[in-house]
Amino acid sequence: MRRMLFLSTVLILLGPFFAGAAFGVALPPGTVDNLTPERGFGDTMNRYTWSMGEFNDQIYAGTWSVELDYVSLVTDIINGDLDLAGYFSGGGDILGGIGYIKSTGGEIYRHEGDQDWTQVGPVSADNTGYREMIEYNGRLYAGTANSTNGTMLFRSDASGDVWESVAGGPTGIPANNSNRTMIVHDGHLYVGTENLKDGGELWRYGDEGASNPGWQKIATFTEDTSVAELTVFEDNMYVGTWDFTDSFSFYKVNGIDDFDNLTPTAAQYPQLSGLSNLGVMKLAEFKGMVYLGTVNYEGGFTLMRSANPMDVGSWEIISIDGLGDMSNAYTWTLEVFQGKLVLGTFNSGLYGGMYGPLPLDGRAELWCSTDGENWDLLMDDGFGSKYTYGIRSMVATEDTLYMGTASNFFLANPFELIEHLKALMGDVDLTEEQMAILSQFSGHFDELGAYFEGDWIGTEIYAYRGQSVPEPSTILLIGISFIGLAACARGRLPT
């Protein structure tokens, strides 16, 4: 898997030269509004809408600013500092390419109506993105990813205009590199972190109005790298974790350093045997049941549910293959909207991507269910965007479902890449083999520039305006359309 991830990094550089014009199912015009006039809010490094929240009847979006640092990558390949030969022969540093990313700092935007957005909140390059966002006691809280100094937590004032940092607790600890999840329960804000050194941590925060103000550490899950998801069901709190080398865990939290391991195992569920379910990606409640969606790069996510998660034997397995598409690696979003459960995926493209040999070139899919057991595919082409491989965040209001996308962060800015490659060809002593490789690029420079003209990458936010649910007979009459998001009409959308 690690070798495949590194190969992705190298192949993505070549991606545009293999790229075709094929697209999947398209949405009918006029049914969904694109709320972002420019992708990435005008900055192509804003690849993800990593988080969304509703506050004062307005929608807020937090970005992940990230791009492959192709200049360093190509330079190190040419200079021999990155051992490609060793990699391809099975030796060398197989993770050497994963660290070649850069950021200008995550940003927060507030939707002012139509396609108008106002940037609010602090920006720093260390805080690569705002991963989580939630309202707590009349303020909007936003947690960051920060691998330099540790995760930070910011909160707005009552207007949403002025922001301040919240110190203490899980923040400022370098090993706590990311705020992975937040939830409000019993007057407290709960925060789950990713910590590759000591294990994921669960913290509880109370403001001045809480019975226990300040921070309290609830637990450190030493066997798991991340507290990835939190949910409350029938007044009990449950934790879903990530473990990048093994498999996820599922716990019920009883109190400080007191939790029960309720992880469903392959011994109890033979369908799970051999599956690489590294983590819990989403937990959600729908119609009296807890839904658990995993991350699985190798064969597609697992989706399961339980009406009594305290009973380890109560889980029902709905899918073990990404709802029939093994490239659906993540159950990335689960949101209840107008009585339906809507699921957005990360689609890697590893099992049949749009561009032939390239991994990580899939297209985000959108699914919907009225009962949680039977699922209908509504969209499978990333809203028609070439490099939108995931639906990363969702917020549902009474009549609108907001969806923030994720676009491929391995793709470099082609115009800067072209100039860098040209400089390398003229300024660096290359072997005959290296010159031949770069010469292949040079023949495509003009074509590449033309291909990427215009709005080519970056996150977008779409809004589906909900409508009342037609009777089944009416659904048959109106046919298959994106009204399926409200009615869950069966079948795929027309092209």
- The sign one gets for the Cα dihedral 406, 409, 413, 416 is positive
Residue 439: the pLDDT is 62
Q: How far apart are the first and last CA of the chain?
A: 34
Burial class (CB in 10 A: 0-12, 13-18, 19+), 112: exposed
* Strand 258-261, strand 279-286: pairing: unpaired
Q: Would 374 be classed as within a structural domain?
A: yes
If you write DSSP's letter for every residue of 13-50 in order, what string do you get? HHHHHH--------PPTTSEEE--SSGGGG-TTEEEEE
Q: For residue 356, give its domain range.
A: 1-30+275-411+457-495
d(C-alpha 363, C-alpha 391), whole Å: 9
Q: Would 23 be classed as within a structural domain?
A: yes
Q: Where are the beta strands (DSSP E) in 370-448?
A: 376-379, 388-396, 400-407
Which amino acid type is present at position 295? V
Residue 465: the pLDDT is 83
Residue 360: the pLDDT is 72
Contact present, 240 and 253 (Cβ < 8 Å): no
Residue 68: the pLDDT is 82
Taking Cα atoms as reference points, which of 230, 228, 220 lies closest to residue 190? 230
Instruction: Give 331's contacts (C-beta < 8 A, 6+ positions apart).
Output: 281, 282, 293, 294, 295, 301, 303, 343, 345
Classified as helix, coil or strand, 335 is strand
For 256, other C-beta atoms within 10 Å of its C-beta total 12
Name the helix (H) or strand (E) containing 120: strand 116-120
Q: Would 309 be classed as within a structural domain?
A: yes
Residue 412: the pLDDT is 74
d(C-alpha 466, C-alpha 112), whole Å: 19
Residue 22: the pLDDT is 28
Cα torsion for 133, 134, 140, 142, to the nearest 10°? -30
Q: Would 347 be classed as within a structural domain?
A: yes
Predicted TM-score of the model (pTM):
0.84
Q: Would 395 be classed as within a structural domain?
A: yes
The values of phi and psi at residue 70, to 5°, are: -65, -30
Beta bridge partners of 328: 347
Ranges of residues in the chain with a pLDDT under 50 are 1-30, 86-96, 444, 448, 468-487, 489-495
Q: Would 452 be classed as within a structural domain?
A: no
Number of structural domains the chain divides into: 1
Contact present, 242 and 256 (Cβ < 8 Å): no
Residue 482 CA, chain-centre distance (Å), reads 23
- The sign one gets for the Cα dihedral 370, 376, 380, 384 is negative
Q: Would 400 be classed as within a structural domain?
A: yes
Give exposure, 338-349, as e/b (b: 16+ Cβ within 10 Å): bebbbbbbbbbb
Q: Would 422 be classed as within a structural domain?
A: no
Instruction: Give 55's contacts (C-beta < 8 A, 6+ positions apart).
Output: 135, 140, 156, 160
d(C-alpha 27, C-alpha 380), whole Å: 9
Residue 70: the pLDDT is 77
